[in-house]
């Protein structure tokens, strides 16, 4: 109960995603039912409305979505982006946390958005674990996440604990999959081996800092000829794999909640580390492709990541999901809340 009211009173009131316990309704003449009316994904263009029901007798909260949740102010055939948000035949959404600690308010909010929209569209919600950054992982985090979400009476259709057609749902169990796809991109000339050492990269970063410039990798290894690459491989020289970003091309992001956003990705970013672990943007994009994700709802802090993921998805000839980036959670002074404060 405390968590629910914490969500209602803190999360969404302090962002443009508004949760308002406007009214307490005795609904359908059921004496033991109380409904709270809530609005999510709310701004000038879009609103998701649903009812949160509390069963007073059993003190249980349930989320009523059928015929009660809707997105308003979007013309299905002619919205700002020209996309039909609900036209997907088999909607698939995902919740993809990293096991770095307890689930916080922001994570609960993201899950709730995906949960409600998946129910509204008669789609499926996938719970996958992005755990390839082993240095940040903490023991027991996954168990606590699942326990907290179950306590909130939330569930999912496929995932790490229940399996499904598109598993495994734990990224650390798919390292060879990411490795193969990354090397396939190298063979297709969409990526390349980078032999720059950590010391060399550190020196370049320090030089850029002294010149008060933003560091961007200079693409030195992008233009190595095959003879040099073969020599380095024979010498067992360590390498990463970098994605060949198109030069000066504007990537278009058609966001459900925002206007069309365009950005040039000038950096040849790393997709596979020297220890064969995939980077976040690579593994997330590959999984969205392999798991046939159609909609991605997440925080606006991921917008810069989305452009890179779109490039990766294009290189895989994959369908691009529909994206909705919701505002970050802030305090009264509009400052972003730290994860430590949001831990529940």
Task: List pLDDT tens digits, range 210-234.
Answer: 998 999 999 999 999 999 999 999 9
Where does the pLDDT of residue 310 fall: very low under 50, low under 70, confident under 90, or very high at 90 and above? very high
Other CB atoms within 10 Å distance of the CB of residue 26: 11
The predicted-structure confidence for 94-106, as pLDDT tens digits, reads as follows 999 999 888 888 8
Show which residues are catalytic.
339
d(CA 125, CA 115): 7
d(CA 265, CA 188): 20
The DSSP code for 7 is I
Where does the pLDDT of residue 4 fall: very low under 50, low under 70, confident under 90, or very high at 90 and above? very low
Distance from the Cα of residue 238 to its chain's centroid? 30
d(CA 205, CA 199): 10
The predicted-structure confidence for 169-213, as pLDDT tens digits, reads as follows 999 999 999 999 999 999 999 999 999 999 999 999 999 999 989
pLDDT of residue 133: 86
The alpha carbons of the chain give a radius of gyration, in whole angstroms, of 22
- DSSP code string of 222-261: GG--HHHHHHHHHTT---EEEE-PPTTPEEEE-BSSS--E
Torsion of CA 168, 170, 172, 178, to 10 degrees: 60
pLDDT at residue 244 above 50?
yes
- Of 40, 6, 7, 5, nearest to 24 by C-alpha is 5
- Average pLDDT along the chain: 79
pLDDT at residue 17 above 50?
no
Which range among 47-51, 257-261, 338-342 has the greatest average pLDDT? 257-261
Q: Calculate mean pLDDT across residues 27-46.
A: 42
Where does the pLDDT of residue 7 fall: very low under 50, low under 70, confident under 90, or very high at 90 and above? very low
What three-state secondary structure class fits 110? helix
Q: Do residues 32 and 342 lie in contact, with contact meaning Cβ atoms separated by under 8 Å? A: no
pLDDT of residue 44: 41
Q: Do residues 126 and 170 lie in contact, with contact meaning Cβ atoms separated by under 8 Å? A: no
pLDDT at residue 253 above 60?
yes
Torsion of CA 208, 273, 311, 205, to 10 degrees: 0
Where does the pLDDT of residue 139 fall: very low under 50, low under 70, confident under 90, or very high at 90 and above? confident
């Amino acid at each position: 109960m405390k968590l629910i009211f914490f969500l209602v009173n803190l999360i969404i009131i302090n962002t443009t995603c508004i949760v308002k316990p406007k009214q307490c309704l005795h609904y359908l003449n059921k004496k033991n039912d109380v409904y709270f009316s809530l609005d999510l994904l709310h701004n000038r263009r879009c609103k998701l409305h649903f009812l949160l029901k509390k069963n007073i007798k059993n003190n249980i909260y349930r989320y009523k979505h059928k015929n009660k949740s809707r997105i308003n102010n979007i013309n299905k055939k002619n919205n700002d982006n020209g996309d039909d948000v609900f036209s997907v035949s088999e909607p698939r959404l995902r919740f993809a946390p990293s096991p770095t600690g307890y689930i916080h308010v922001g994570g609960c909010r993201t899950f709730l958005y995906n949960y409600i929209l998946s129910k509204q569209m008669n789609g499926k919600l996938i719970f996958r674990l992005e755990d390839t950054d082993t240095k940040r992982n903490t023991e027991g985090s996954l168990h606590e996440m699942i326990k907290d979400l179950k306590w909130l009476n939330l569930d999912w259709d496929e995932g790490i604990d229940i399996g499904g057609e598109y598993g495994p749902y734990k990224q650390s169990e798919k390292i060879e999959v990411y490795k193969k796809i990354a090397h396939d991109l190298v063979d297709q000339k969409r990526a390349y081996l980078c032999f720059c050492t950590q010391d060399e990269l550190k020196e370049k970063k320090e030089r850029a800092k002294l010149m008060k410039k933003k560091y961007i990798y200079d693409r030195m290894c992008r233009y190595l000829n095959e003879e040099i690459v073969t020599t380095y491989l024979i010498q067992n020289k360590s390498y990463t794999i970098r994605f060949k970003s198109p030069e000066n091309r504007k990537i278009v992001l058609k966001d459900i909640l925002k206007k069309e956003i365009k950005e040039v990705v000038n950096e040849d970013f790393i997709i596979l580390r020297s220890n064969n672990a995939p980077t976040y943007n690579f593994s997330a994009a590959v999984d969205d492709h392999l798991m046939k994700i159609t909609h991605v709802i997440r925080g606006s802090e991921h917008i810069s990541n989305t452009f890179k993921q779109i490039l990766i998805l294009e290189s895989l000839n994959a369908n691009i999901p529909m994206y909705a980036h919701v505002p970050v959670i802030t305090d009264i002074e509009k400052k972003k809340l730290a994860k430590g404060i949001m831990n529940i």
